[in-house]
Chain A
């Protein structure tokens, strides 16, 4: 177990280094000069050159990258070109919002997806199954902004049950979490359904049924835990995805997460912020997968043995 964690942590560090290098090269390859943007339309060439020098943009790429890495090792993510303030606190200020939305979105996904998936598996081939499968198909293929705006229009603008936009109270969280959760639940429903169908055909389930256990007990105690493995892996992936990929939902609901920060930074070629957000998301993906890997043996002892 400890060995696995150590190997994974080393892998994680290497992946982060790779992500940092790749992002850095890509940003450098952009034909945009941050110094020109910062110096403004009225600047003299002398001012532009001075700013370029201060930002270190006149140095060779490997040297710039080295400076960035040494800063990173000291916990310094650099200073934003545009906001002229440290990147670390900017990201930190937005992390709680992102983490809250991520947790709530995943909770909705899992609860909804598990329930529907199990029901569909039990009623396999029937009307309910087909309804669930169609709904999940619609779910996974509907764009987020559409659902977000629909929910907003119906439940906030028309019915007035929830605030339209903002952050701070549980009521603010409902619609954004539903948007993420309802759409993501489709994936979970499909995965759980096929895993359940697989498990329900196993001998031990037949045995459990044969020894007269109630159907609920068979499903919840014997079948479901064995169908959960892919769900855990899926949650690991979602943690990473929601950390960096909820830009649309954040925009519609005015949710102050790091997606918003990233989007604005990209528009302004604010390289330190883009780097910081990319690394944060990469870290989340790596950690999410690590957590999934560590949870798997707790759920399925066979993996522990291997």
Chain B
């Protein structure tokens, strides 16, 4: 007997006004040219386009555009809007979400999208047999544990009562649930196409997004053409994009300057960045944007002497973060807390541990280590990460802490971090946390919460503060959109209280830099979209 009601917050107001919002989204299209075929390059091959599996920043943006989800974001912003859903309601207890599907949306194989497709797609993402990285996001849906354990054949919490309704019953309130409905793993796929692909859906994707895959030459290029039947008129703007892989970033830039390439997806190598940023011509090619990312050093709270909070605080004061940002050519801003500035809940008034060698030394003496100690700092082994680790090592040496650097392949660092008692300190560079969706809770659970402090987990500080854990659950129970501000405030306090325990040394928030050719139009934030990286739906070619 749930009494569902339409919430009267900004978020839901936007939904109520959905018909008005959609023209608002597309009206700039009048000014934007339609058409154009562009070329995008990456060094690495595209691993897969299966939305239940793809989880790297090359395929993330492509999958976003090949498929549609119940919810999506206004381009360039972290603002949720209904997409495949026409509208939705949330029950007062925050545990039932009811979505009404947009009518007549078709997969690119011609079949109309029905509620059963939504249920199938999410169950597929959760099913351990899919071996995808997205299952954990759906943990709040009722029946999750039984399904994962193999005790049930589906998620009992997803119901499809009629031809255009999907109902989600949650086992606990989850304020991030609408974001979860917008991540790639919640993309809607047609069962018959998945089955026809016989385990190769990642190479033969079928969806209902803005683009359709036309061709894939393994190791060379992929071609995507506009979906003429996409349910928002006037989207996308370009006719097609070709992704050429195996392209060295430096070569890609040379080609971009010659006009052969429109977007160099891997960014700009440091030397070339200086050259480009110095010339007026080159400057026009650089897109420089903030992303939801923080680079940090984990301090393992289960390894002596880092188990002593005073020691961790002292180390926090010892690091000259300004100097470290210079190693990446200033393409980063020093950080003082886990959340990046763009994230709701970021505390602008918090000053953090300021760089003060004398105070750090005094603190260390107070903690009982007047002569410092020896420890080990892990880092990945690709430039510039070992150089950043060296800078941290030098700063630590100044207060008497001798850190030996272990620069290893990324997978080995991840393994060391997830093994209890193994890695005292890890510089997160190269594997830094980039938010899956723009919500502060995404920066807590797996990396600072108790659930992540397990064998094979990602909480490499092995930090578990029960009181904060409780507050995090409370904050995530505030799923009433009217309590949005209150919830953000709660998260803000949680992260500042985390910093009192100092399980991390936040180092910097790295900006993302990509290069685009002069003919490409659109604001920087659709080339470095906080939820997509490149937003293929919004970019356009200047007339």
| With A50-B150, A55-B131 already in contact, 20 other A-B pairs whose C-beta atoms are closer than 8 Å | A30-B411, A31-B419, A32-B412, A33-B418, A38-B131, A39-B131, A42-B135, A42-B445, A43-B135, A50-B128, A50-B148, A83-B48, A85-B48, A90-B218, A152-B251, A164-B251, A164-B260, A253-B251, A256-B219, A268-B47
Instruction: For the complex, give the distance between the alpha carbons of A11 and B199 in Å.
Output: 37
Q: Contacts A31-B412, A90-B218 given: A164-B255 contact, CB under 8 Å?
A: yes
Query: Is A38's CB under 8 angstroms from B133's CB?
Result: yes
Contacts A50-B128, A256-B218 given; does A41 touch B446 at CB 8 Å: yes
Whether A251 sits at the interface, judged by CB under 8 Å, is yes
For this complex, 22 residue pairs linking A to B, each with C-beta atoms less than 8 Å apart, are A32-B409, A36-B415, A39-B133, A40-B136, A42-B436, A44-B136, A46-B148, A47-B148, A50-B128, A50-B150, A84-B200, A85-B203, A93-B218, A156-B254, A157-B254, A164-B254, A164-B255, A167-B220, A252-B248, A252-B251, A254-B248, A267-B409
Q: Report how far A260 CA is from B45 CA in the complex, Å.
A: 9
Judge whether B78 is part of the interface by a CB distance below 8 angstroms: no
Task: Say yes or no: A85-B149 contact (C-beta < 8 A), given A152-B251, A255-B246.
Answer: no
**A90-B218, A256-B220 are known contacts. Are A268 and B136 too (CB-CB below 8 A)?**
no
Question: Contacts of B220 on A, CB cut-off 8 Å?
Answer: 166-168, 256
List residues 12-56 of chain A with CB under 8 A from any CB of chain B: 30-48, 50-51, 54-55
CA distance A50 to B130 in the complex (A): 10
Contact with A32, one of B136, B219, B414 (Cβ below 8 angstroms): B414
Contact B137 A42 (CB under 8 A): yes
The segment from B79-87, B451-459, B461-469 that touches chain A is B451-459
Closest chain A residue to B133, Cβ basis:
A40
**Would you call B219 and A33 a contact (CB within 8 A)?**
no
Is the beta-carbon distance between B248 and A32 smaller than 8 angstroms? no
B45: nearest chain-A partner, CB-CB: A264
B interface residues (Cβ-Cβ under 8 A, vs A): 43-45, 47-48, 50, 53, 55, 128-129, 131-137, 139, 145, 148-150, 199-200, 202-203, 218-220, 244-248, 250-252, 254-255, 258, 260, 409-412, 414-416, 418-419, 433, 436, 445-447, 454-458
Given contacts A32-B414, A167-B220, contact A82 B48 (CB under 8 A): yes
Asked if A54 contacts B218 (CB within 8 A), the reply is: no
Are B456 and A254 neighbours in the complex by a CB distance under 8 Å? no
Q: Collect the chain B residues with CB atoms within 8 Å of residue A266's CB.
A: 409
Interface string of A115-159 (1 = CB under 8 A from B): 000000000000000000000000000000000010011001100
CB-defined contacts of A97 to chain B, threshold 8 Å:
219
B219 touches A93 (CB 8 A): yes
A269 within 8 A of B: yes
Q: How far is the CA of A156 from the CA of B257 in the complex (A)?
A: 13
Interface status of A165 (Cβ within 8 A of chain B): yes
- Please name the residue on chain B nearest to A157 by beta carbon: B254
- Tell me whether A33 and B50 are in contact (CB under 8 A): no
B409 adjacent to A165 (CB under 8 Å): no
Of all A-B residue pairs in the complex, the 10 with the closest CB atoms, nearest first, are A40-B133, A256-B219, A42-B136, A50-B128, A32-B411, A93-B218, A254-B246, A36-B456, A269-B411, A32-B415
A-B contact count (CB 8 A): 159
Contact with B along A76-116 (1 / 0, CB 8 A): 00010111110000100110010000000000000000000
- Inter-subunit contact A264/B133 (CB<8 Å): no
CA distance A40 to B189 in the complex (A): 21
**CB closest residue in chain B, given A37:** B411
Please, which residues of chain B bring their CB within 8 A of the CB of A251? 43, 246, 248
Minimum CB–CB distance from B458 to chain A (whole Å) comes to 5
Q: Which residues of A contact B447 (CB under 8 A)?
A: 41
Residue of B nearest to A48 (CB): B456
- In the bound complex, what is the Cα–Cα distance between A256 and B260 (angstroms)? 19
Bound complex: CA A83 to CA B50 (Å): 9
Q: Which B residues are in CB contact (< 8 Å) with A238? A: none
Query: How far does the Cβ of B434 sit from chain A's closest Cβ, in whole Å?
Result: 10
A85-B133 in contact (CB<8A): no
Given the contacts A30-B411, A85-B199, A261 and B137 also touching, CB distance less than 8 Å: no
Show the binding face of A for B, using Cβ within 8 Å: 30-48, 50-51, 54-55, 79, 81-85, 90, 93-94, 97, 149, 152-153, 156-157, 164-168, 250-257, 260-261, 264, 266-269
B123 nearest CB across to chain A (Å): 14
Instruction: Find chain B residues with CB under 8 A from A42 CB.
Output: 133-137, 436, 445-446
On whether the beta carbons of B45 and A261 are closer than 8 Å, the reply is: yes
> Closest Cβ of chain A: how far from B280's Cβ, in Å?
21
- When distances are taken between beta carbons in the complex, the residues of chain A under 8 Å from B246 are 165, 250-251, 254-256, 260
Residue of B nearest to A44 (CB): B136
Contacts A45-B455, A167-B220 given; indicate if A33 touches B415 (C-beta within 8 A). Answer: yes
- State the CA gap A253–B251 with chains docked (Å): 8
Q: Hey, which chain A residues are within 8 Å of B415, CB to CB?
A: 31-33, 36
* Contacting residues, chain B, for A38 (C-beta < 8 A): 131-133
| A41 B129 Cβ-Cβ under 8 A | no
Select which of A36, A81, A164, A260 is within 8 A of B219 by beta carbon. A260
Min CB–CB distance B430 → chain A (angstroms): 11
- For the complex, what is the distance from the CA of A94 to the CA of B250, rounded to whole Å? 23
Given contacts A42-B445, A164-B260, A251-B248, contact A84 B53 (CB under 8 A): yes
Q: Which residue of A lies closest to B55 (CB)?
A: A40
Q: How far is the CA of A156 from the CA of B419 in the complex (A)?
A: 49
Measured between beta carbons, the chain A residues less than 8 angstroms from B131 are 38-39, 51, 54-55, 81, 84
Contact partners of B254 in chain A: CB under 8 A: 152-153, 156-157, 164
- A31 smallest CB distance to B (angstroms): 5
Question: Which residues from A are CB-within-8-Å of B53?
Answer: 84
Compute how far the CA of A94 lies from the CA of B245 in the bound complex, rounded to whole angstroms.
Answer: 13
Chain A residues with CB under 8 A of B458: 41
Min distance, Cβ B201 to any Cβ of chain A, angstroms: 8
Q: In whole angstroms, how far apart are the Cα atoms of A42 and B145 in the complex?
A: 15
Q: Which residue of A lies closest to B183 (CB)?
A: A42
Q: Do A94 and B456 form a contact, CB below 8 Å, given A32-B411, A51-B131?
A: no
Chain B residues in 8 Å Cβ range of A269: 411
- B456, A45: Cβ atoms closer than 8 Å: yes
In the assembled complex, the Cα of A232 lies from the Cα of B164 at a distance in Å of: 71
| CA–CA, A44 and B140, complex, Å | 12
Nearest residue in A to B218 (C-beta to C-beta)?
A: A93
CB distance from B3 to the nearest CB of A (A): 32
CB neighbours (8 Å) of A164 from chain B are 251, 254-255, 258, 260
Which B residues touch A256, using CB under 8 A? 218-220, 245-246
Q: Which of A30, A153, A260 is the one whose CB lies under 8 Å from B412? A: A30
Chain B residues near A152: list those with CB within 8 A. Answer: 251, 254
Chain B's closest residue to A266 (CB) is B409
User: Pick the contact of B251 from A36, A46, A48, A165 — CB < 8 Å?
Assistant: A165
A94 to B455, CA, bound (A): 38
CB-based contact B45/A45 at 8 Å: no
